[in-house]
Amino acid sequence: MIREAIDGENPDRLYTVTGGRSRADENAFDLVTLIVSESDPTPGMQSEHTAILRMCRSPVAVVEVAAELKLPVSVVKILLCDLLDTGRIAARHPSASVGRTPLPPPEILKQVLVGLKNL
């Protein structure tokens, strides 16, 4: 259902949603950067921005925002940039982000193991 919605997406809508911009700062958000609203939506705000602010009252990963809005990740990143620039959201970036050594330290992995074993 979601796929069809995206496949059948009208390019004009994507163009309108982003105001014609095609790229966000690639490094601004990871796929799993957690987004948290810092304010409530205001009247007259673009509907996608409103939806994001409502959705992110508790932390939500960028990729979840994309799935919920049925928009490509890159388009969502552009929308998130707008909100971040105006201070309406906060971004909690993953500790294991680009540029680090490929492997996280053992203590982090230990936490992952404990979490998985508790599943």
Task: Decide: is 114 part of the binding site for another protein (CB under 8 A).
Answer: yes
Residue 34, classed as helix, strand or coil, is strand
Site for another protein contains 2 (CB under 8 A): yes
Using left for φ > 0, alpha for ψ between -120 and 50, and beta otherwise, residue 49 falls in alpha
- Quote the CA–CA distance of 77 and 63 in Å, as a whole number: 9
Angle among Cα 21, 25, 29 to the nearest 5 degrees reads 120
* Euclidean distance between CA atoms 37 and 34, whole angstroms: 10
Residues 9-48, one symbol each (x = binds another protein by CB under 8 A, - = not), give --xx-xx----x-xx--x---xxxxx-x------------
Tell which one of 60, 79, 81, 89 touches another protein (CB under 8 A).
60
- Binding to another protein in span 94-113, by CB under 8 A: 94-98, 100-106, 108-113
The residues, any chain, with a CB within 8 Å of residue 93's CB and separated by 6 or more, are 29, 30, 33
Q: How many residues bind another protein (CB under 8 A)?
A: 58
Which one among 42, 47, 72, 86 touches another protein, defined by CB under 8 A?
Answer: 72
Question: Which residues of the shown chain bind another protein in the complex (CB under 8 A)?
Answer: 1-4, 6-7, 11-12, 14-15, 20, 22-23, 26, 30-34, 36, 55, 57-61, 63-64, 66-68, 72-74, 92, 94-98, 100-106, 108-117, 119
